Structure 1
Amino acid sequence: MKRISILGSTGSVGTQTLDVISHYPEHYSVEGLSGGYNIDLLTEQVLRFRPKKVSVATKALADQLTAQIPSEIKVFHGEEGLLEIAAGTDADYVVTALVGSQGLRPTLAAIEEGKQIGLANKETLVSAGHLVTELAARRGVKLLPIDSEHSAIFQCLNGESLENIHTITLTASGGSFRDRTREELKDVTVEDALKHPNWSMGAKITIDSATMVNKGLEVIEAHWLFNLSYHQIEVLIHPESIIHSFVEFADYSIIAQLGLPDMRVPIQYALTYPTRMKSPTQRLRLSEIGKLNFREMDYDRFPCLRMAYESGRTGGSMPTVFNAANEVAVERFLRGDIKFLQIEDVISNVLAKHSAVPFPDLQQILEIDHWARQAAVHA
């Protein structure tokens, strides 16, 4: 029986994680859930999976939840609540599915307690990759990737030596606007941007997919997960999202991982690793797909991806600033404060104002993150 806590249980990855767990109740118990503001869905999850501890965003929501669930379930709130779900339960495995840099401190807390990590919060490694990987190594904790691209690379590397890697390639669907020119993007709406052609995801990550920020975050995450230099990490547009990523080795052999675009596959693999179990998803039938298409990445068309590479190569605190500025820019776009193409302007302007700190500690990262967010509000 694997005991699991989920940070972000009401989001896209969190709900799909619980769906996977529901198919194997004899293998998993749920120790803790954090659900932010979605009190109705969280209440349903608590009543079904009966965690020992649960957390919400605010004290008012905590009081509301307490009145609706069994009294033996302890209710927490705020950042303290996230830390409790991450590190204060009997879980031996924590799925970090929070959106944005709010996942950093809870993930570090879980690692410090020696809990294995199912990592769906890429911003954690983007903002503080050196701290997270160093602590995980010291505590003997595995960082098991849940992102479909990193899960694909992880699976392709089973039994292989990292020294034999020539390059890895992260595939990108191209997002909601992959077939539009930059001229055609000037007046796109939030509703347009949220129509992802392949994946069912939350609003923030769907916008990030359209700007290609999401792929940039994945590039930086891959650098830390697989200890690769940035020139070894490539990106290729693959509209069908069937090949989730692939590895090219020193002899130019390529191993790829394929499957239908369903997040339950990488989620389940992270939960069951190193074994595999029957999946609740559909089988991939290549004869029905017919053909697969690929396009070279155009960094002029997607400047946010170029900025991500530049931030990663600069290192230190620069990826922290890239991530924080983007989070605020996306919030501003979703509110209607700025247009879609202005997201990249906000990121670029904030990056230009920052001088990278080479090896920031956690307090410096949090301070720089705060500064970048303030700068992005007015950029």
Structure 2
Amino acid sequence: MVRTVSVLGATGSIGKATLDVLQSQQDRVAVDALVGGRDVAALAQAARRMQARVAVIADPDAYQDLKAALAGSGIEAAAGPSAVVEAAARPVDWTMAAISGTAGLRPSIAAARRGGTLALATKECIVSAGTVFLDAVKAGGGALLPVDSEHNAIFQSLAGAAVRDIKKMVLTASGGPFRSWPLERIATARLEDALQHPTWSMGAKITIDSATMMNKGLELIEASYLFGVESGRIEIVVHPQSIVHGMVEFRDGSVVAGLAPADMRVAISHALGYPDRIETAVGSLDLIQIGTLTFEAPDEKRFPALKVARAALERGDGAIAALNAANEVAVEAFLARSIRFIDIMPVVIETLEQLDRRNGLAAPRDLEQVTALDDEARKTARNLMQSISNQTATQAKALP
């Protein structure tokens, strides 16, 4: 049986890995829609290669370029945010939600409401709109399958077990590029340093989140919502080899772990084939060659993001949405070299504190309230960063 599929975020790192898996299964899948951000050439090339029915670019100004790139192919071209949501709502059997940031929220919710299987690789759907997003999934009646390697490992380890049988879940973290750096050296970290992830090849934003360990904080939040387990039963463990992606300890003392090479195609293939298994081009895991697997506790003094994320989870949907928005703004500023690496977390923390003082962390009840809270958190974070920039400029002028 041929399954119809769509890929939201087809030109990003997860999207490209998804297309690689889909290409290996072309006799079993038919690609309906591919959605990209700004890279017209990559989107058009992928649409032609996968023989998609429609290709959508998020940038509305890129429509004519996309149309020209697809000329003679028979592939429909569209552009702009509304077209992205319309593509997500097209009736297909399986959708990969891999648009990074809150830009992926509306299309992912549209896909969830439509039904079918939603393979989720966009953390922001849950960390920005937890209850609202999960309500959309429930309303659509489809399946939600996690594609983050850690959550996918937990999902496979659970194998349908009841929440009451879970003693704790363990999410592993590589530790990022600064795992062994002392605090004094982290204070001097450059953009080039933060982008050197030791294990994974990812987009810039998620790589910086790995360096601060906010990525793991967001995954902790996501795990709580996905599996219905409270914060106290979720543990973060640093595992530099990135072979064990997640573990579940059950109340009878059994521990089931998900191991795999550090290759996103493993989790993508699982989500595409579920409940069956499909063949992939990923090499076998050679534990003898790997030799040693090590684990250590995360240092929350050097990486306060973990503590901040856990506190936001315990506070609820509003705090989580604000945390994510402020972090996105701060990371964008760091990538633009407007603030230092060590300024990222203070911006996030102060944004949450300011919003709390204004009673601005109430849980949003619908997508409009999610958007309003996200906007307010971003505005607050940007104002804070302007203050940081002014202070830095003043200090620079005072230097001899």
Report matched runs for 1:72-87 at 5 Å: 72-87=74-89
Contact 2:95 2:118 in 1 (8 A): yes
Q: What residue in structure 2 maps to residue 366 of structure 1? A: 371
Q: What residue in structure 2 maps to residue 299 of structure 1? A: 300
Q: Which residue identity lines up with residue 99 of structure 1 in the other structure?
A: S
Partners of 1:233 and 1:78 lie apart in 2 by 39
Is 2:33 the counterpart of 1:28?
Answer: no
Is 2:192 the counterpart of 1:191?
Answer: yes
Is 2:141 the counterpart of 1:136?
Answer: no
Contact 1:58 1:77 in 2 (8 A): yes
Contact 1:198 1:240 in 2 (8 A): yes
Q: Shift of the alpha carbon at 1:54?
A: 1.4
What does the per-residue CA deviation read over 1:19-54, in whole Å, with 9 as the maximum and x for residues that have no partner?
A: 001111111111001111111111210111121111
Q: Shift of the alpha carbon at 1:165?
A: 0.3
Larger Rg: 2
Q: Shift of the alpha carbon at 1:303?
A: 0.5
Q: Shift of the alpha carbon at 1:114?
A: 1.2
Is 2:36 the counterpart of 1:43?
Answer: no
Which secondary structure does the structure 2 equivalent of 1:15 belong to? helix
Unaligned runs of 5+ in 2: 385-400
Name the TM-score, length of structure 2 as normaliser: 0.92
Q: What residue in structure 1 maps to residue 207 of structure 2? A: 206
Contact 1:246 1:254 in 2 (8 A): yes
Identity of aligned residues (%): 42
Which secondary structure does the structure 1 equivalent of 2:188 belong to? coil
Q: What residue in structure 2 maps to residue 14 of structure 1? A: 15
Aligned residues: CA RMSD? 1.1
What does the per-residue CA deviation read over 1:81-133, in whole Å, with 9 as the maximum and x for residues that have no partner?
A: 2102210x232211110111111111111111113200000110111111121
Contact 2:169 2:235 in 1 (8 A): yes
Contact 2:177 2:211 in 1 (8 A): yes
Partners of 2:45 and 2:255 lie apart in 1 by 44
Report matched runs for 1:22-171 at 5 Å: 22-69=23-70, 70=72, 72-87=74-89, 89-171=90-172
Q: Which residue identity lines up with residue 361 of structure 1 in the other structure?
A: D
Which secondary structure does the structure 2 equivalent of 1:325 belong to? helix
Q: Which residue identity lines up with residue 360 of structure 1 in the other structure?
A: R
Partners of 1:67 and 1:107 lie apart in 2 by 28
Q: Which residue identity lines up with residue 292 of structure 2 in the other structure?
A: K
Q: What residue in structure 1 maps to residue 310 of structure 2? A: 309
Q: Which residue identity lines up with residue 75 of structure 1 in the other structure?
A: A
Which secondary structure does the structure 1 equivalent of 2:341 belong to? coil
Name the TM-score, length of structure 1 as normaliser: 0.97
Q: Which residue identity lines up with residue 312 of structure 2 in the other structure?
A: S
Partners of 1:256 and 1:311 lie apart in 2 by 27
